[in-house]
Structure 1
Amino acid sequence: MRKNKKKVIYVVTAVASVVALVYLGLALFFTKHFYFNTFINGENYSAGSVDSAQNLVLDNSNHYTLTINGRDGLTDAITSADIGLKLEFGDEFQNIIKTQNAFQWPVSIFQKSEYTVDTMVTYSQEAFDRKIDTLCFFQQENIRQPQNAYLSDYTEDGYQIIPEDKGTVPLRKKIYNAVKESVEILANSVDLDEKECYTSAKIDSENRTLQKERDALNHLTGVKITYTFGDEIEVLDGSIIKDWLVTEEGKLDINPELVREYVNALSRKYDTWGKKREFQTTGGETITISEGAYGWWMNRAGETEALVELIRNGKSENRTPLYHAEAAQYGDNDIGDSYVEIDLTSQHLWVYKDGQLVEDTDFVSGNVSRGYSTPIGVYGITYKERNTTLRGANYASKVSFWMPFNGNVGMHDASWRSSFGADIYLRNGSHGCVNLPSKKAEVIYGYVEQGEPVIVYGGQMSVPRTEPSEQQPQPETTPNENVNPELTPEQQIQILIEAGILNPDGTPVQPPEGILPEVPTENPIQTPQEIPTENLESLPQQIPNENPAVVPEVPIENTVEVPQEIPVEMPQEIMGDTTQIVPEV
C-alpha cells in the first residue's frame, strides 16, 4: 500500500516537473520571440523572432506590388522597383516583444494580437509622384462625368428611378494619399472607390425628393378605370393619364379639361340620344326614326368630376358612367327586345317582352284635326301610376292605369270610349295621349316597366277639310244659343259631358254608326245634333283650337323630370323637338 502511494507521488512530481520545465522554457523562449497569434501589418509572425520577421519583410519588399482598383473595372499597380522602395528597420519589432509578458504566454494561445508597423518603408518621393501621375485613372479616355439619378418616362410599370452614373472623375489628392498609406504598410491592394477617391453625382437613387416625386406620379398614373359598353371595353390607365399631368404651385395634379375631353370622346362614341334608328315594324317594314327622347346620354360634367376625384384619390375600379338618360342596351340597337310599338296609321299597338309578342290592341291617339297629334319618335316609359286624375285647363279625367312616356303624353285607359282604332283619332282623338280599352290597359300596365322603350310612328298629320252638303245642312244655332251665359265655363262643360255630347276629357263623343246623340228634353241647354268644332270654340275657356299645349296635372311626387333642353354636351342630332309639352288624355 505504501509502495503504491510512493509511486503516485513520484509520477505527480515528475509530471509537475515536466510542466514546470515546459512553462519556464517557453517563458524564456518568448522573451525573444513573438507570442502565438501575433499579426504584424496583416502578416502572421507567430513564434517568430525579430530577425526572421525582418528577413520575411525584406524578401516581400523585393517583390512588392500594390494593386490599385478603380471604377469601371480599371486597375493599375505600383511595384517596389517603380518607386525605389526600401525597408529601414528601427526598434518596432523589438518593441512588440518588449510589450509581451513572457510568463503570460499561455494566454496567446486563445487571444489574437495585431500590430501595425508603419515606419519601416522608404521610397523615392519623386519617383512616387511621377508614378501617381501616370496611373490610368488620370487618362482622359478613362474619365467620364457623373450623371444624376432621374425619373424615367412612363412605362408599363409606372415611373422608375434611373440610378445615377457615378462617373470616373478622379480626385488626385485623395488617390495620392490612399496609395501612399497602402505602400507604407505594404498593403497588397487598395480600392479607390471605397476610399472615396472619385467625384459623385449630386442626386442619387436614394434621394428622398426624387422618391417622393416618383411616388406622386405613380399615385396618379397607377389608376385603372375600366368602362364596359356592351361588347366594347374602354380602359383608362396611366398610358392616358400621364398626358393629363400638370404641376401647379409645386403640386402635381391632373388637368380637368383634358379629362373632360376624354369623357366627351366616350360620349360621342357611345351615346345614342338624338341619333337616327332603324326599326323593323311588326308588319315587316324597316323604318328610320329620328325623333324622340330616348337613348344613352352621358352626364359629361358629372362623369368628368367623378373621374377627376377617382384619379386624385388613386382609386381603380370597373365603372359605369353617370347618365342623364339610359337605354335598354348598348349598341346600335339600343331599343332591345322588350318594348311597346305604336302604329298611329293603323291605330294599333303591340307589346313585346324578351322578343315575344305578349299583347296588342287598337287605341285612339291625339286628335289630328285640332292639332293634338301624338308625337312620333322613340321614348321611354317615365313611370307608372295607378288610379290618378289627369287634369287640364278645362277637364279632369280619372284613369286607373297611367303610363307616361313623353312629358305628359302617355298611355292610359279610356273608360268613356266605346270604340277604338280606325280613323277615330283624326277628328275625335285625345289631347295627345294613347287611349286604351280598360282591360287592355290593365294587361299592358302589368308588362311595361320604367325606362322601357316606346316606339311611335306613322299617322296622318292633317285632316282634309270636308264641305257640308245640301242634304246635310249645318246647324244654324250659335254657341250663345246653346250655352246658358250665366253658367261658368266649367259648368257648361260638365253639362255637355252629362248630356253625352263630350267625353270626360273634353273631346266630342263619336256617334256610333252615324246616329247623332239626343239631348234629354229636361235639359235646358239646346244643343245641335252635331257638335262642330267652331261651336266648341265659342265656349269660354273650353278646349282651345289654337293652343294645343294643355298640360294635365299629374301628382308632383310621381313626376319624373325629363330634360327640357339639351346642354352643350348633347349630341348634335336631336330627335325632334322634345321640349314641347303635348297635351295628353
Structure 2
Amino acid sequence: MKRKSLLLVPLIMVLVIVSIYSYFAITYQNKFLPNTKIGQIDVSQLSRKQAEKKLKDNIHENEFVILDNDKTWKAIPKQQLGITFDVNKTVSDTIAKQNPWLWFMNYVNQPKNVPIVMTDYNKDELTKQSNALKTALTNFNKERTPTKNAKIEMKDGSFQITDEVAGNSIDVNKFISAFESHVKEGKGSINLESYVQKPTVLATDTQLKKELADINKLTEVNATYLINGQKVAIPKETIASWLTTNDKGDVTLNQDLVKEYVTQLGQQYNTSTNPTKFNSTKRGEVSVPAGSYSWTIATDSETEQLTKLILSGKGFTDRVPAYQGSATPESALLSNTYIEVDLQAQHMWYYKDGKVALDTDIISGKPSTPTPSGVFYVWNKKRNETLRGEDYASPVDYWMPIDWTGVGIHDSPWQNANAYGGTSYTTVGSHGCINTPPDVCAKLFNMIDVGVPVVIF
C-alpha cells in the first residue's frame, strides 16, 4: 500500500505540470505571450481587444528610432512622417504567428518587438525629414574621423601610395536611402553603425599598385617641342603634376592643367600675337609687330594630341605643335629670304639666301593712311590690276598683295622718279601700299615667289 502511494506522487506532479502547461497554452491562443511588444508598446498577457485598445491609445507615441551603438541618437514620431497604421491586422497577424505551446520560452528570451503594420506615409514629410537628417548627419560627421581610400599622391618628389583610413564617418547618402526604405517598409528603427563608411581601396590593392607603376613610367617621359626653330622641353615635374586617375582607376592627365600649359605655350610663342625680333639692314635689331604671316597654336587640338602622346609612354622629340595660320612653328618665322621695308628710311630690300638681290627707295602710305608695320607675306602675284578705293582707281602692271586689307607692293608710274625715298610720303604718299619704281617693281615681281615674307617696320 505504501509503495502504491509513493508511485502516485510523481504521477500527480506530472498531471499538475501538464495541466498548468496546457492551461497557459490554451490561454495564449487568444492572448499575447510574455515579453511581447508591438511598435515598442508592451502587449504582454493582453487579449486581442485589450492590445488593440492599448495600441490605438498609445500609437501617437510610436517612434522611428535611429540608433548609434544601440543607443537612441534620434527618435522621430511616426506621426511626423505621416504614417498611418492597421492596428487590427497587426494584432491578428502577431497572435496568429506566435506559438502558444512554447509560451514558456518567452520568459527566458529577449523581449520580442513586432512592428505595427503601416498602411501609408506622407511623401512630402518623409522628404522633409530626410533633408533634416542629411544636415544633422553632415554636422555629426564633423566630429568623426572621415574614411579615406588608399590613393596615389606626390610626396617628397615622387608618387607614393598613401594608406587608407578606416574612419567612423557615416555614409550620408547611403543612410538616407536606407532610412527612407525602412520607413516605407514599416520598420521601426535603423542603426547608424551599419552605414559607417569603409575604405573601398586598400594600400595592398593590386590595381592601385599597377597604377603607381604606370604613373612612375610616365613621369620619365621625354617631351620636346620644336617652336620657332628652337627646342622647348616640357619639364618632367610639369608632366608629373598632370598625372591623375579616372573613376575606373586608369591613369590619365588632368585636362585643365594640360590645356593651361598649352595656352601658356601659345601666349609665349604665338607669332600671331607676339612681335618678332628682326635684324634690320640699317637699324640693327628691331621688334616687328604680328601681321598676316604668322601662326597660332591650336589649343584644343594640341591639348588632345599632347595627352595621347604622354599617355602612350613614348614621348616625343622636336614635335611641331598643332597650329593654324599662314606660317609654321617648325622654323623661325623669318629665314634668310625675305623682303624688308624700312618705313623710316623709305627703302626696300629683297634678300635672297641672305644676300641682297634687289633694293630700292619706295614711297609708303601718307600719314593719314600709313603703311602698317608687321610681318606679312606675298600671298599672290597679279599682272595688270586696277586698285580701287573710295576715291581712287589706279591701274598697275605688277600687284603683290601682302595682307587682307588691300595693302601690297606695286609699281607706281604716276609718281615722279625723283620722289622715291626721303619724306615724299608725307605729301604724295599712298593709301597704305608700297609704291615702287616701275622698272624695279618688274624685276622684283619676276624674282620672288608667292609666300615670301615681307617685314615692314
Higher helix share: 2
Larger radius of gyration: 1
Higher strand share: 2
